[in-house]
Amino acid sequence: MPELPEVETSVQAIQEFTNQNLESIKIHNPNLRWKVDIATFKKLHGLKVSKINRRAKYILLHIEQSQILVHLGMTGTLRIAEKNSNFYKKHDHVEFIFQNRKLIFNDPRRFGSMHHIKEPGTHFLLENLGPEPLSQEFNGEYLFHKIKKSISPIKNALMNQQNVVGIGNIYANEILFDASIRPTRKSKTLKKKEYEEIASSTKKILKRAIKAGGTTLQDFYQPDGNKGYFKIDLNVYDRENQKCKKCKEELIKRIVQSQRATFYCRQCQI
């Protein structure tokens, strides 16, 4: 599944459509996780996209007093094509057609979704989300008070979107390695200083990933068709039985937490 850096990379790559009129929307297949409301989307033809931004792992296209919410799901991707291009890829679901180019949403497994919303703060996908990890609101003080009494393993707590948004499995592994904290530790056992380290590592790792263009893992592609370039910098994720890059001695261990793979160094992470 695309994580926050991949979604942010996509948002940055499609900024060319800001302040352009959405001439039309072609819906080839409305069957996503929730069926696309064809009649509602037809009413958006001719309106201007005033802003494109991200909230957690969701992409928001602002159109007058409403928004189009796009969730990439597990295999969803966006790509940019020339307006008159007839090239069609299998699993192309929706085309947003602008003056010169178009934005195409493709999703083979159909776990993504697309919604027309008017009140983002009360929409069921957005209403209970925590702060953005790159915001000033998210820091060690916030994290300490939010989960200091939780018995949840710290990796699970980081991936809980009500605590902080956008941190998926890949980056949760990387963040905790950078902070030298074992992912299995119960949240309530961490000291305030360790929460500060986690917050600092979170911002550092995510900023690095965004700058690099996201990861090359699974099915993520940038809208221009290129894969991301962050995979070469991963320190623990998917490196089972390889030597730790930090201590150069211990082999990276793989375990399963809540049905997700966890990778860590038993020597460097305590």
pLDDT at 224 (0 to 100) = 67
| Cβ proximity of 64 and 142 under 8 Å | no
Q: Note the Cα 248 to chain centre separation in Å.
A: 31
Buried b (16+ CB within 10 A) or exposed e, 178-203: bbbbbbebebeebeeebbbbbbebbb
137 is catalytic: no
Write out the two tokens for 105: 């949403």
- Looking at 54, 55, 57, 101, which residue is catalytic? 57
Distance of CA 204 to the CA centre of its chain: 16
User: Quick check: is 109 catalytic?
Assistant: no
Catalytic residue among 33, 185, 254, 260: 260
Does 57 participate in catalysis according to the annotation?
yes
CA pair distance 15, 257, nearest whole angstrom: 37
pTM of the entire structure?
Answer: 0.87
Pick the catalytic residue from 2, 133, 153, 223: 2
16 token code pair: 């060319």
2 is catalytic: yes
Of the residues 3, 6, 8, 95, only one is catalytic, namely: 3
Q: What's the confidence (pLDDT) of residue 216?
A: 46
What pLDDT shows up at residue 31?
96
CA angle 198, 157, 168 (to 5 degrees): 80
Phi–psi pair at 101, nearest 5 degrees:
-135, 175
Residue 129 identity: L
Q: Please list the ranges in the chain whose pLDDT falls under 70.
A: 1, 214-222, 224-232
**CA 76, CA 106: separation in Å to the nearest integer?**
6
Closest of 219, 203, 103, 84 to residue 143, by C-alpha:
203
Find the helix or strand (DSSP H, E) in which 104 lies. Answer: strand 101-106
Which structural domains are found in the chain, ordered by start?
A: 4-122 (3.20.190.10), 140-264 (1.10.8.50)
pLDDT at 127: 93
